[in-house]
């Protein structure tokens, strides 16, 4: 969540290229290897010294953060439920099926 919070608040983001961070950040951040401190320093220097890059990261970050709203999550979850039970038309769930392993 810190990456999305930073993007929402208009901060240019430099983050790790590991875990789920690249998926969350997309092209709205500079991704670095967390085991390479020189990469981190170089990325921070680029953001500080290059105003067009900084503004681009801020713009893309705000756009990217909008993709992760609670409203959108709720809408997409509801749509998935409706699809699974017959597109909201009273469809029947097949007995004996489960999406969770016991």
pLDDT at site 94? 54
Q: Is residue 94 part of a domain?
A: no
Which CATH number fits the domain that encloses residue 54? 3.40.50.2000
pLDDT at site 4? 96
Which has more pLDDT, 87 or 51?
51
Q: Is residue 30 part of a domain?
A: yes
Q: Is residue 92 part of a domain?
A: no
Measured between alpha carbons, how far apart are the two ends of the chain, in Å?
A: 31
Q: Which domain holds residue 24?
A: 2-84
CB of 3 closer than 8 Å to CB of 22: no
Q: Is residue 101 part of a domain?
A: no
pLDDT band at 70; cut points 50, 70, 90 = confident
Q: Is residue 16 part of a domain?
A: yes
Number of domains the chain is built from: 1
For 23, residues 6+ apart whose C-beta sits below 8 A from its C-beta are none
**Minimum mean pLDDT among 45-49, 73-77, 79-83, 85-89: which range?**
85-89
């Amino acid at each position: 969540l810190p990456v999305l919070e930073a993007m929402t608040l208009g901060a240019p983001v430099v983050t790790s290229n590991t875990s789920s961070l690249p998926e969350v950040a997309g092209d709205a951040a500079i991704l670095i290897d967390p085991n390479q401190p020189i990469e981190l320093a170089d990325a921070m220097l680029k953001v500080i010294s290059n105003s067009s890059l900084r503004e681009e990261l801020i713009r893309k970050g705000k756009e990217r953060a909008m993709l992760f709203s609670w409203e959108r999550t709720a809408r997409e979850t509801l749509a998935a439920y409706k699809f699974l039970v017959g597109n909201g038309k009273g469809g029947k769930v097949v007995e004996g099926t489960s999406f969770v392993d016991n």
